[in-house]
Amino acid sequence: MEDKVNKNGDKITPDQQQQLLFVMLIQQHQQIAMMGMGKTINPQTEKTERDLKSAKFAIDTLVMLDKFTEGNLPKEIKDYLTQTLTTLRLNYADEKKKDDSSSSDDKEEDKE
């Protein structure tokens, strides 16, 4: 099998290519989650949008990848996935809390 060449012109092995693709998959889901939480701009609309369901779906997908790859990832990639999940979960909890407090504020206004 022919070695691939990365963007710097360096040759990478098929195993390194697979690891790179896996990291890119993590990054894609991280970006989807951050967009869903309204933390980054959607490049298609060039607006900040909030969709916590899509954010949760992206996080859940990374959780599934973590579960199904347990014991099969190099330490660096496992650590990257773990750190990414921790960051996303903390951000999601903050956003969910904002939703919960604003919906309870709305209920209070309805009572008046």
Tell me what pLDDT residue 97 has. 92
On whether the CB atoms of residues 66 and 85 are closer than 8 A, the answer is yes
pTM: 0.80
C-alpha 67/C-alpha 45 separation (Å) is 33
For residue 82, give the DSSP letter. Answer: H
Nearest Cα neighbor of 51 from 42, 60, 43 is 42
Tell me which H or E stretch contains 50. strand 47-50
Q: Is the pLDDT of residue 8 over 90?
A: no
Q: In which band, very low, low, confident or very high, does the pLDDT at 1 lie, cut at 50, 70 and 90? A: very low
Q: Provide the percentage of residues in the chain whose pLDDT is more than 90.
A: 72
37-66 pLDDT per residue, tens: 999 998 888 999 999 999 999 999 999 999
Tell me what pLDDT residue 103 has. 73
Q: Is the pLDDT of residue 72 over 90?
A: yes
C-alpha 18/C-alpha 63 separation (Å) is 19
The residues, ordered by sequence, that sit 6+ positions from 53 with a Cβ below 8 Å of its Cβ are 36
Q: Domain segments of the chain: what residues?
A: 4-61+72-106
Q: Is the pLDDT of residue 77 over 60?
A: yes
> What is the residue-averaged pLDDT of the chain?
88
Task: Determine the angle formed by the axes of helices 75-111 and 14-36, rounding to 10 degrees.
Answer: 10
